């Protein structure tokens, strides 16, 4: 699926999402399950806060020395018999992967979950080259059946109810006996597992993402809860790892630090069920493994973020905690964001990768409640980074004219206290008089954005400062 | 040192919303501060610059920050009945200046600036208030106060000393009400979905009075509550702590007082 951003239509997307009863039902799970589980996992680990600081410092160190670690990583992949390909853009990355698949005469390609593969539109490229791409993560598999993109970076099908999934399986899995009960998640899982087993065995190439790339050993690490990553990478004769450049960590020890915060932040597990390390192709003494091992390292705009006010964003380890705790994400789900990365991390990443001209709504559609930053395992100051995008827009005159005009007027009065006092006293006494009967306004010109949804409380009367001055004068008399 | 000169000179930063919409919160704040032994000053003031700062207009935010620092330069402390505006002054003023002199000045200003309730408890060591309120209340933790300044236990501690008052916690009191400054108007529909969840939690608590420490959040929640026709009053926490509930609740008419 190519990823044409619908981010410029964010408001329409959000409107539709708010009026989609199935979506709203499905979103209920995000709002409670993830949060509660993370909270209890964090409470079980007294040093969690310290680990967040260490994780932040580690990722900062990597970003400051990224070239060094990338070269070390490449050297160690090569010495273990693998090959590293650097791709500057989406197109280069897709081309590299398609060429590897073609050179092995591949017909069928299995994939573990990888957000960067969504970012570069890999499935579409594989299919355009005449091969079949099969997603093996259950959530990814479901959305692939539906022709959708992930709505969450770790729970791609979180926007669906189990009834919708049952409907999709009955539609696509034509072998299914109509009488078979598929009403429970475990029954759906069993059905998917049966179908996917055949695909695993038939695959010529397996593609996985990476949670971490370990420089000292040339190892890629993925975590899954389904074990699909293991089958994807060990059964086919070719294994391709696709990862973005900031996934590097110096040592295995460092990877274990990040693993300690990753699953706890993501799903509230102490560890994901499977943590799979892969280093090069199968060695003679190995019982199984691929014959060929490739790593495609994708830049696609990331190196341009280094050294800018957005560098902090490259610490992200893609746990999804920010979106799990985001009131805006809870309200509208992930698809409304219109591109690959939703939620607060998406609100910073999307303008960085597709441009603020297209992605500009996202850093604005935040209440700055700060809950995302408070749970981020690598302490990314997400509201601050969103504010940097707003500054960027303001400087480039991309801020909507009405807002700009309003700010200008407000700024003019705020910077002139005497004028401010005069104008606000006049305005507030008038408004107070107009609203004296009800104490509020059900509609008010220029305040439609507010009064369409809620009443505007009426002011009490004269301003506080004016009343205070009066009282001080009376007291002196 | 004479007792008079030992009284800390506290500059009350009323905040725009209190100044314009609900002066009674300013008087409640002043009363609480005076009762705790402070001399309260209200220098001519406008806005802390947060709307400009959060809209990306950094230059205006800087101008307003300088204006605030000038206006309150004679004060020992600066206190505001808002976690949001205090967050701007404490956390963000220092970020606005790269010039060493100005940055130092902003940090020094930030160090003596506090949100009202936490100033009472944490700086003045106030442990109880002389107020009475008969009935149950529920308290919403406004985001900036909670996450930028760590205000959570302080208002609850003081509310516990109000005679007759029973605090009942709503579900998810620490989740955003959907206000977010200009967000509420720019993304009104999303804001509405968020505040609708919030008012449902307020209703479920069963408390007939909702309190919080930020007038922005309070106006958002009160405006939704009246639009929904719910029988719940909304007030700033300072009004209850100061025993000043004579004015009608937010967004309510005079005769609607309950």
A453: closest chain B residue by CA: B192
Distance in angstroms (rounded) separating the CA atoms of residues A134 and B218: 51
Average pLDDT of chain A to the nearest whole number: 95
CA atoms within 13 A on the CB side of A241: 34
Give the residues across from A224 on adjacent strands: A274
pLDDT at A341 (0 to 100): 97
Residues of chain B contacting residue A332, judged by C-beta atoms under 8 Å apart: 190, 193
**3-state class of A344 per DSSP?**
helix
A32 contact partners, CB below 8 Å, separation of at least 6 = none
Distance in angstroms (rounded) separating the CA atoms of residues A205 and A477: 90
- Please write the tens of the pLDDT for every residue from A365-406: 999 999 999 999 999 999 999 999 999 999 999 988 888 888
Specify the pairing of strand B233-236 against strand B209-212. Answer: parallel
Pick the residue of B181, B185, B218 with the most A CBs within 10 A to test the interface with A by mutation: B185
- Please write the tens of the pLDDT for every residue from A306-317: 999 999 999 999
CA B122 to chain A, closest CA, distance in angstroms equals 23
Place of tokens 């018999």: A81
List, as ranges, residues 281-340 from A with C-beta within 8 Å of B. 327-328, 330-332
C-beta atoms of B46 and A415 within 8 A: yes
Distance in angstroms (rounded) separating the CA atoms of residues B196 and A434: 27
Distance in angstroms (rounded) separating the CA atoms of residues B85 and B102: 20
pLDDT, average across residues A253-257: 98
Distance in angstroms (rounded) separating the CA atoms of residues A283 and A287: 9
Give the residues across from A455 on adjacent strands: none
C-beta atoms of A332 and B248 within 8 A: no
CA A241 centroid distance within chain: 20
Place of tokens 């004015």: B247
Distance in angstroms (rounded) separating the CA atoms of residues A331 and A28: 9
List, as ranges, residues 375-394 from A with C-beta within 8 Å of B. 387, 389-394
Domains observed in chain B: 3-121 (3.40.50), 127-256 (3.40.50.11810)
Distance in angstroms (rounded) separating the CA atoms of residues A238 and A291: 6
DSSP tag of B170: P
Alpha-carbon distance values, A4 to A356, A374, A382, B180 (Å): 15, 32, 25, 30
pLDDT at B258 (0 to 100): 45
Distance in angstroms (rounded) separating the CA atoms of residues B197 and B194: 5
- Please write the tens of the pLDDT for every residue from A43-70: 999 999 999 999 999 999 999 999 999 9
Residues of chain B contacting residue A401, judged by C-beta atoms under 8 Å apart: none
Place of tokens 């190439």: A205
Residues of chain A contacting residue B191, judged by C-beta atoms under 8 Å apart: 367, 453
C-beta atoms of A449 and B14 within 8 A: no
Q: What is the DSSP string of A31-76?
A: IIIIHHHHHHHHHT-TTHHHHHHHHHHHHHHHHHTHHHHHHHHHHH
DSSP tag of A104: T
Distance in angstroms (rounded) separating the CA atoms of residues A369 and B245: 29
Least CB–CB distance from B55: residue in A403, A424, A459: A403
Nearest of A376, A452, A458, A466 to residue A418 by alpha carbon: A466
Pick the residue of A334, A368, A388, A459 with the most B CBs within 10 A to test the interface with B by mutation: A368
Distance in angstroms (rounded) separating the CA atoms of residues A152 and A348: 15
Residues of chain B contacting residue A438, judged by C-beta atoms under 8 Å apart: 253
CA A405 to chain B, closest CA, distance in angstroms equals 12
Percent of chain A having pLDDT more than 70?
99
The interface predicted TM-score of the complex, written ipTM, equals 0.96
pLDDT, average across residues A9-33: 93
pLDDT at A2 (0 to 100): 42
Least CB–CB distance from B223: residue in A366, A407, A456: A456
**3-state class of A79 per DSSP?**
helix
B54: closest chain A residue by CA: A387
List, as ranges, residues 131-160 from B with C-beta within 8 Å of A. 143-144, 147-148
- Please write the tens of the pLDDT for every residue from A275-324: 999 999 999 999 999 999 999 999 999 999 999 999 999 999 999 999 99
pLDDT at A178 (0 to 100): 86
Distance in angstroms (rounded) separating the CA atoms of residues B143 and B234: 17
Least CB–CB distance from A374: residue in B19, B147, B180: B147
Alpha-carbon distance values, A144 to A19, A69, A105, A140 (Å): 24, 35, 23, 6
pLDDT, average across residues A235-240: 97
pLDDT at B172 (0 to 100): 96
* CA atoms A351, A356, A360, A365: torsion sign: positive
Give the residues across from A110 on adjacent strands: A134, A206
Beta strands in A117-218, from DSSP E residues, in sequence order: 132-135, 205-208, 212-214
Q: What residues does CATH 3.40.50.10420 cover in chain A?
A: 7-298
Give the residues across from B139 on adjacent strands: B211
Nearest of A4, A362, A208 to residue B183 by alpha carbon: A362
Chains A and B form CB pairs within 8 A to the count of: 214
State the CB neighbour count (10 A cutoff) for residue A402: 12
DSSP tag of B80: E
For chain B, 258 residues long, the average pLDDT of each consecutive 10-residue run is 72 98 98 98 97 96 97 97 98 97 98 98 97 98 97 98 98 97 94 98 98 98 97 98 97 67
C-beta atoms of B187 and A364 within 8 A: yes
Q: Would you say B144 and B83 are in contact if contact means Cβ atoms under 8 Å apart?
A: yes
C-beta atoms of A464 and B148 within 8 A: no
Task: Measure CA of the first residue to CA of the last residue in chain A; give whole Å.
Answer: 78
A57 contact partners, CB below 8 Å, separation of at least 6 = none
Distance in angstroms (rounded) separating the CA atoms of residues A468 and A471: 5
C-beta atoms of B176 and A364 within 8 A: no
Specify the pairing of strand A212-214 against strand A248-249. Answer: parallel
List, as ranges, residues 41-60 from B with C-beta within 8 Å of A. 42, 44-47, 49, 51-58, 60
A332: closest chain B residue by CA: B190
Long-range contacts of A7-11 (CB under 8 A, 24+ apart): A7/A337, A7/A338, A7/A339, A7/A350, A7/A354, A7/A358, A7/A359, A7/A361, A7/A362, A8/A338, A8/A358, A8/A361, A9/A338, A10/A336, A10/A337, A10/A338, A10/A361, A10/A362, A10/A365, A11/A361, A11/B187, A11/B189
Is A20's Cβ below 8 Å from some Cβ in B?
no
C-beta atoms of A367 and B224 within 8 A: no
Q: How many residues does chain A have?
A: 477
Residues of chain A contacting residue B52, judged by C-beta atoms under 8 Å apart: 407, 410-411
Distance in angstroms (rounded) separating the CA atoms of residues A303 and A97: 21
pLDDT at B257 (0 to 100): 45
pLDDT at B5 (0 to 100): 59
Structure tokens at A413: 């009065």
Residues of chain A contacting residue B223, judged by C-beta atoms under 8 Å apart: 440, 450, 454-457
pLDDT at B253 (0 to 100): 81
C-beta atoms of A420 and B46 within 8 A: yes
Distance in angstroms (rounded) separating the CA atoms of residues A474 and A470: 6
pLDDT at A29 (0 to 100): 79
pLDDT at B255 (0 to 100): 61
Query: Model confidence at A176, in pLDDT bands (50, 70, 90)?
Result: confident
A374: closest chain B residue by CA: B147
B62: closest chain A residue by CA: A415
Task: Measure CA of the first residue to CA of the last residue in chain B; give whole Å.
Answer: 47
Query: Is the confidence at residue A109, as pLDDT, over 90?
Result: yes
DSSP tag of A215: T
Domain at A7-298: CATH code: 3.40.50.10420
Pick the residue of A399, A465, A471 with the most B CBs within 10 A to test the interface with B by mutation: A465
Torsion of CA A294, A299, A300, A306, to 10 degrees: 170
State the CB neighbour count (10 A cutoff) for residue B70: 10
């Amino acid at each position: 699926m190519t990823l044409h951003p619908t981010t410029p239509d964010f408001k329409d997307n959000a409107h539709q999402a708010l009026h989609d009863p199935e979506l709203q039902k499905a979103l209920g799970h995000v709002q409670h399950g993830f949060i509660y589980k993370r909270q209890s996992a964090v409470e079980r680990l007294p040093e969690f806060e310290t680990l967040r600081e260490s994780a932040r410092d580690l990722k900062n160190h990597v970003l400051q020395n990224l070239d060094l670690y990338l070269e070390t990583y490449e050297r160690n992949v090569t010495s273990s018999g693998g090959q590293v390909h650097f791709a500057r853009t989406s197109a280069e990355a897709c081309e590299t992967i398609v060429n590897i698949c073609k050179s092995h005469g591949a017909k069928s390609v299995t994939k573990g979950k990888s957000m960067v593969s969504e970012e570069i539109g890999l499935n579409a490229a594989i299919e355009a080259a005449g091969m079949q791409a099969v997603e093996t993560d259950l959530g990814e598999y479901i959305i692939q059946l539906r022709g959708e993109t992930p709505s969450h970076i770790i729970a791609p099908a979180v926007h669906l109810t189990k009834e919708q999934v049952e409907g999709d399986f009955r539609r696509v899995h034509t072998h299914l006996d109509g009488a078979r009960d598929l009403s429970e998640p475990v029954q759906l899982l069993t059905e998917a597992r049966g179908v996917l087993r055949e695909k695993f065995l038939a695959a010529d190439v397996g593609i996985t993402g990476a949670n971490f790339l370990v420089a000292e050993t040339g190892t890629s690490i993925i975590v899954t809860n389904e074990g699909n990553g293991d089958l994807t990478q060990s059964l086919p004769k070719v294994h391709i790892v696709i990862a973005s450049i900031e996934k590097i960590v110096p040592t295995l020890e460092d990877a274990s630090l990040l693993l300690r915060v990753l699953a706890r932040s993501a799903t509230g597990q102490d560890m994901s069920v499977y943590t799979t390390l892969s280093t090069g192709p199968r060695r003679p003494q190995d019982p199984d493994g691929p014959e060929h091992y490739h790593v495609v390292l994708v830049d696609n705009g990331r190196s341009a973020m280094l050294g800018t006010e957005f560098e902090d964003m490259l610490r992200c380890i893609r746990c999804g905690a920010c979106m799990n705790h985001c009131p805006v994400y809870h309200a509208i789900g992930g698809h409304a964001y219109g591109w690959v990365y939703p939620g607060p991390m998406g609100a910073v990443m999307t303008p960085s990768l597709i441009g603020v001209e297209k992605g500009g709504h996202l850093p604005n559609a935040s209440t700055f409640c700060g809950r995302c930053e408070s749970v981020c395992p690598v302490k990314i100051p997400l509201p601050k980074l969103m504010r940097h995008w707003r500054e960027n827009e303001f400087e480039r005159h991309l801020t909507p004219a009405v807002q700009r005009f309003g700010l200008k007027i407000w700024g003019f009065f705020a910077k002139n206290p005497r004028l401010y006092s005069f104008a606000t006293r006049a305005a507030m006494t008038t408004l107070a008089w107009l609203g004296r009967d009800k104490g509020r306004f059900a509609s008010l010109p220029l305040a439609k954005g507010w009064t369409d949804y809620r009443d505007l409380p009426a002011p009490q009367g004269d301003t506080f400062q004016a009343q205070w001055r009066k009282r001080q004068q009376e007291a002196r008399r | 040192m004479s007792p008079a000169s030992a009284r800390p000179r506290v500059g009350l930063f009323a905040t725009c919303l209190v100044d314009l919409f609900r002066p009674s919160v300013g008087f409640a704040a002043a009363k609480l501060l005076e009762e705790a032994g402070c001399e309260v000053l209200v220098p001519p003031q406008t806005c802390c610059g947060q709307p400009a700062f959060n809209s990306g207009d950094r230059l205006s935010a800087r101008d307003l920050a300088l204006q605030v620092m000038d206006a309150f330069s004679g004060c020992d402390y600066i206190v505001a009945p808002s976690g949001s505006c205090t967050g701007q002054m404490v956390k963000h003023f220092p970020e606005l200046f790269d010039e060493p002199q100005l940055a130092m000045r902003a940090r020094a200003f930030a160090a003596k600036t506090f949100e009202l309730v936490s100033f009472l408890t944490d700086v003045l060591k106030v442990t109880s208030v002389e107020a009475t309120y008969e009935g149950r209340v529920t308290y919403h933790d406004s985001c900036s106060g909670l996450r930028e300044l760590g205000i959570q236990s302080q208002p609850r501690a003081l509310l516990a000393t109000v005679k007759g008052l029973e605090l009942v916690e709503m579900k998810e009191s620490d989740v955003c009400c959907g206000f977010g400054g200009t967000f509420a108007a720019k993304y009104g529909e999303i804001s509405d979905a968020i505040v609708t969840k919030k008012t449902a939690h307020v209703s479920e608590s069963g408390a007939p009075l909702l309190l919080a420490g930020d007038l922005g959040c309070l106006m958002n929640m009160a405006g939704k509550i009246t639009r929904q026709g719910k029988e719940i009053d909304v007030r700033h926490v300072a009004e209850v702590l100061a025993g000043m509930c004579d004015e009608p609740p937010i967004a309510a008419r005079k005769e609607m007082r309950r």
